[in-house]
Amino acid sequence: MQISPQGAPNIRQETVTEDVSSTAFIRKLENHLRFTSSERDALQRLTQLNVRNVRSRVTFIEASAPASEISIILSGWACRYKMMPDGRRIIVAFHIPGDVCDFHALLTTAADTATEAMVNAKVSSISRQALGNLTALHPRAGQALWWESLVSASIQREWLVNATRRNASERVAHLLCELHVRQAAIADGAEEALCMPLTQADLGNACGMTTEHTNRTLRDLQKADLIVLDKRVIAIKDPDALVELSGFDPAYLHMQTQKVASARSPGAIAIDKCLNTAEV
Amino acid sequence: MQISPQGAPNIRQETVTEDVSSTAFIRKLENHLRFTSSERDALQRLTQLNVRNVRSRVTFIEASAPASEISIILSGWACRYKMMPDGRRIIVAFHIPGDVCDFHALLTTAADTATEAMVNAKVSSISRQALGNLTALHPRAGQALWWESLVSASIQREWLVNATRRNASERVAHLLCELHVRQAAIADGAEEALCMPLTQADLGNACGMTTEHTNRTLRDLQKADLIVLDKRVIAIKDPDALVELSGFDPAYLHMQTQKVASARSPGAIAIDKCLNTAEV
DNA sequence: CGTACTGTTGATCAAAGTCAATTGAGGTGG
DNA sequence: CCACCTCAATTGACTTTGATCAACAGTACG
């Protein structure tokens, strides 16, 4: 599972110096407050200090690793997972560009989750030290980070509801709605941002379902004309119907209302492996 | 569900001035760092500024309420829940003395969960304003609070795993283990602290199970000699076997190791309604 | 052109939900 | 002190959702 992809077994990640964008990250934080330009600059600089490329399906944050830094997804997708004693893997979160994927690293105790890139990704790391300097100088930035961690927790709660109280179709539909909205909130018009690199296995795992049943459920949703399956792409055909079916209410995402609204705009979204062949 | 108990339909809560203890709260925060006595004093004072009694089964934090303060349980138990559109209630967290039960109040957006007292409880409220003053004066106290919110999130993740990947017996056993350890960590020898006021319905709800199946599962655990059911009391008979059965690993609670160890000590714990008749 | 995922399909089965009563304890009021 | 009420716990019969097991097909990539 955490096997390096073919071709570069030894080079699991490499530091990059080229230009990368941390706008998604700052945009997400600005859900909670508006930064001054100096605050924004400080965040921008901090997120570009230490950026690395991570190859698809590589676990770049180990559960047992002594954590001394937090990581932010700059591009690509990642999933956070827990391992069961019997080796089963449970996805507890998806992380898209702009997401901080290991707030728990701020705790002094050992991490209980690992994080894997789902496609080739760019990840920025900020040391606890650097973070301390930032919050000392820009307390509001620290506060925004805390808030962001609270939003993560809120999403986690909704996932519990999703997996325990909704049936298979509702679960999948709800997760698609969530990803749709989160995705739209960080998109800046670029179609790349609207690409969701999810396998059916990942999708099902996150919903607490087997791959087989996920597949059948997706077929049902297609039969009902809510989505379209084509090769390895899942396209949302009827967003409103998905919202209706799953009882999706974006309040738990704690976004500014206009960002939520923008996700309601028509237009299909593809969930596929398009990013797998992206540059790295 | 959120009906006031018989006898005092109009007096849902009252402010108390008598002496209350915030040691559990401070003890929990000291899982992460050791406070100076001035920090401890500040926290102590802050948690005693605004204390109220909440009657059993009263929702004291509404989901829609404009949140301007966070609440800390001083005594008694509470549960955080979400409502489904169809009126079903889903418990997403249990809160015991020392727990902050609504970190999300720090967000400027609307809350997505409500909190109900499961027995008569004492709750301290700290305004966002007062909290700001505290963290400005004592940054380490603010940091400890952030950490505490990260621990909450970690517990939330484990609940997702619990509800989706373990069978009924394992789920119940795992939750009993968690509550056992959390309870032991704040207990200071008083037997009152070792009393868990949980109905079978609550227990099942938190595990994503029906009341009926929870009841049958508890019978099974009793048949296997892991617990003892007596009237409305669930007593843990074999803690080690419960840990073994459920695959419980306390790492996700992010506690100091000696606190976890103390919970391994023998001695049955009662889960009953003993606190329902407590003073209020 | 083989190797390895990812996706697809079918048959079977079991865990847990649903529906429907009933019991028992504790508190209330007369 | 007793009839009564309510809530929590129990129990049984039946149903259903989704897991399990077992192949197999399509794609991608070296």
Q: Give the distance from residue A133's alpha carbon to the nearest chain B alpha carbon, in angstroms.
A: 13
The answer on pLDDT for B259 being more than 80 is no
**Which pLDDT band holds residue B4 (cuts at 50, 70, 90)?**
very low
Residue B16: other Cβ atoms inside 10 A: 17
How far apart, in Å, do the first and last CA atoms of chain B sit? 20
Nearest to B135 by CA among A133, A135, A26: A135
What's the pTM value of the predicted model, to 2 decimals? 0.90
Query: What is the greatest pairwise CA distance in chain A?
Result: 55
The answer on pLDDT for A13 being more than 60 is no
How far apart are the C-alpha atoms of B272 and B280, rounded to whole Å?
A: 18
Q: Supply angle C-alpha A55, A57, A60, rounded to 5.
A: 70
> Tens of pLDDT along B17-44?
445 677 899 999 998 899 999 999 999 9
The answer on pLDDT for A7 being more than 70 is no
How far apart, in Å, do the first and last CA atoms of chain A sit? 20
**Which pLDDT band holds residue B12 (cuts at 50, 70, 90)?**
very low
The predicted pLDDT at position B226 comes to: 95
Residue for token pair 């902050």 = B100
What mean pLDDT comes out for the span B157-177? 97
Q: Report which DSSP code applies to A87.
A: S
Q: Residue A253 is encoded by which pair of tokens?
A: 């995402």
Residue A253: other Cβ atoms inside 10 A: 20
Q: Give the distance from residue A1's alpha carbon to the nearest chain B alpha carbon, in angstroms.
A: 19
Contact B150 A103 (CB under 8 A): yes
Name residue A213's amino acid.
H
> Tens of pLDDT along A68-114?
899 999 999 999 999 999 889 999 999 999 999 999 999 988 889 99
Minimum-distance CB partner of A149 among B90, B153, B208? B153
The answer on pLDDT for B228 being more than 70 is yes
Contact B159 A160 (CB under 8 A): yes
Minimum-distance CB partner of A208 among B92, B151, B164? B164
What mean pLDDT value characterizes chain A? 84
The answer on pLDDT for A237 being more than 60 is yes
The predicted pLDDT at position B73 comes to: 96
Beta-strand relationship, B121-127 and B195-196: unpaired
Nearest to B86 by CA among A167, A25, A112: A167
Q: Flag residues 216-275 of B with CB < 7 Å from strand C.
A: 231
Is A277 within 7 A of strand D by CB distance?
A: yes
> Tens of pLDDT along B97-111?
999 999 999 988 888
Is A88 within 7 A of strand D by CB distance?
A: no
Measured in residues, chain B has a length of 280
> Tens of pLDDT along B42-67?
999 999 999 999 999 999 999 887 78
**Which pLDDT band holds residue A186 (cuts at 50, 70, 90)?**
confident
Helix (H, G, I), strand (E, B) or coil at B113: coil
What share of chain A has pLDDT > 90, as a percent? 66
How far apart are the C-alpha atoms of B80 and B61, rounded to whole Å?
A: 9
Is B88 within 7 A of strand C by CB distance?
A: no
What mean pLDDT value characterizes chain B? 84
**Higher-pLDDT residue of A207, B263:** A207
Residue B266, CB-side half-sphere exposure with 13 Å CA sphere: 2
* A-B C-beta contacts closer than 8 Å: 120
> Tens of pLDDT along A160-181?
999 999 999 999 999 999 999 9
